[in-house]
């Protein structure tokens, strides 16, 4: 099988059998098209011709600063996509290089940036006024912090998915996996105020509001860029100097849960992570026991040794 055919078949598989999101398919198409272009330029036409030496050559081409300034983290996305392609082909009984032969670049431990709870509350307050759009903005931030949703998941929510009495809903996340979501009483209150003011028939939970309110019923949710812009503007008004994004609010949700005693498996389920390893990136900022050990055994007053026994002083 040619590499061109393999890539085409795998992308079709992602769209149909796997039910991957449009965003995921778009990213994998970008990564695998890069691999396909490299393979054709290096006379590697068929999948069974791709060898371990080719993996190294391909990885070096991705890291070549003269071609593109990709970080090692970004390069790993290309290699993970290639691994997934090889795994798919093996599942079809096609002889190819084992996926584990595609080694990933070693990268530094990931540092998580998040907002403190008070910063999030200030962000919600400054997100909007009492207009319909303003209430929508406050509700979006409140729902993000209360549920830990990805921005794509937030914008895919429909009004009939959220039970405003119990604060529960189901969301389809990455890989088409469905998981439960929950809203706090505070988030429910802000969201309820927004929903009660709407007079449109748009099924989406968060929409663009026009001067001509009749246009609100068009079935178009807000764009990712619009939500990012609204949150960035709210952060400036709130006096938050660090960069703020929908994903940083997701980080803040996870950190807040772990700091308050939630077990990591439950947090994994609420975030929709396939692997516990992904969730463990938050533990280094939530381990209170390490701080307590430091305070107990190291944070003692520094007193000079005078050589005088204090008990002998009169």
Catalytic, out of 10, 31, 78, 282: 282
Residue 163: strand, helix, or coil: strand
Q: What is d(CA 2, CA 40) in angstroms, rounded to the nearest whole number? A: 10
Residue from 278, 263, 268, 262 nearest 179 by CA: 268
Q: What is d(CA 8, CA 25) in angstroms, rounded to the nearest whole number? A: 11
The yes-or-no answer on residue 225 being catalytic is no
The yes-or-no answer on residue 210 being catalytic is no
Q: What is d(CA 114, CA 244) in angstroms, rounded to the nearest whole number? A: 8
Structure tokens at 98: 């084992």
- Give the strand pairing for 178-182 and 168-172: antiparallel
Catalytic, out of 70, 117, 174, 208: 174
H or E element that contains 9? helix 3-15
CB-based burial label for 292 (10 Å; 0-12, 13-18, 19+): exposed
The yes-or-no answer on residue 174 being catalytic is yes
Catalytic, out of 136, 138, 251, 273: 273
The yes-or-no answer on residue 282 being catalytic is yes
The yes-or-no answer on residue 273 being catalytic is yes
CB-based burial label for 252 (10 Å; 0-12, 13-18, 19+): buried
The yes-or-no answer on residue 250 being catalytic is yes
Catalytic, out of 247, 265, 288, 291: 247
Catalytic, out of 83, 150, 198, 251: 150
Question: Which positions are annotated as active-site residues?
Answer: 150, 174, 247, 250, 273, 282
């Amino acid at each position: 099988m040619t590499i061109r055919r393999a890539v085409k078949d795998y992308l079709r598989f992602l769209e149909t059998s796997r039910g991957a999101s449009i965003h995921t398919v778009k990213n994998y198409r970008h990564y695998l098209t890069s691999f396909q272009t490299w393979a054709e330029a290096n006379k590697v036409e068929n999948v069974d011709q791709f060898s371990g030496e080719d993996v190294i050559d391909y990885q070096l081409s991705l890291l070549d600063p003269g071609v593109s300034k990709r970080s090692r983290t970004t390069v790993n996305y290309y290699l993970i996509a290639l691994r997934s392609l090889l795994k798919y082909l093996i599942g079809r009984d096609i002889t190819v290089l084992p996926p584990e032969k595609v080694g990933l670049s070693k990268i530094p431990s990931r540092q998580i940036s998040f907002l403190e709870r008070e910063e999030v509350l200030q962000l919600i307050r400054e997100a909007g006024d009492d207009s319909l759009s303003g209430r929508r903005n406050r509700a979006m931030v409140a729902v993000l912090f209360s549920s830990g949703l990805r921005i794509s998941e937030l914008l895919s929510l429909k009004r009939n998915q959220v039970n405003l009495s119990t604060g529960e809903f189901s969301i389809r996340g990455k890989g088409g996996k469905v998981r439960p979501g929950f809203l706090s009483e505070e988030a429910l209150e802000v969201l309820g105020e927004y929903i009660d003011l709407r007079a449109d028939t748009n099924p989406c939970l968060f929409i663009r509001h026009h001067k001509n309110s009749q246009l609100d019923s068009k079935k178009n949710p807000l764009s990712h860029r619009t939500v990012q812009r609204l949150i960035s503007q709210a952060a400036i008004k709130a006096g938050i100097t660090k960069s703020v994004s929908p994903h940083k609010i997701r980080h803040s949700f996870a950190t807040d849960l772990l700091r308050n005693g939630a077990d990591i498996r439950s947090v994994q389920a609420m975030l929709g992570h396939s692997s516990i390893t992904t969730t463990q990136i938050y533990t280094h900022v939530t381990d209170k026991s390490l701080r307590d050990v430091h305070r107990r055994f190291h944070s003692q007053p520094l007193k000079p040794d005078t050589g005088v026994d204090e008990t002998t002083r009169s």
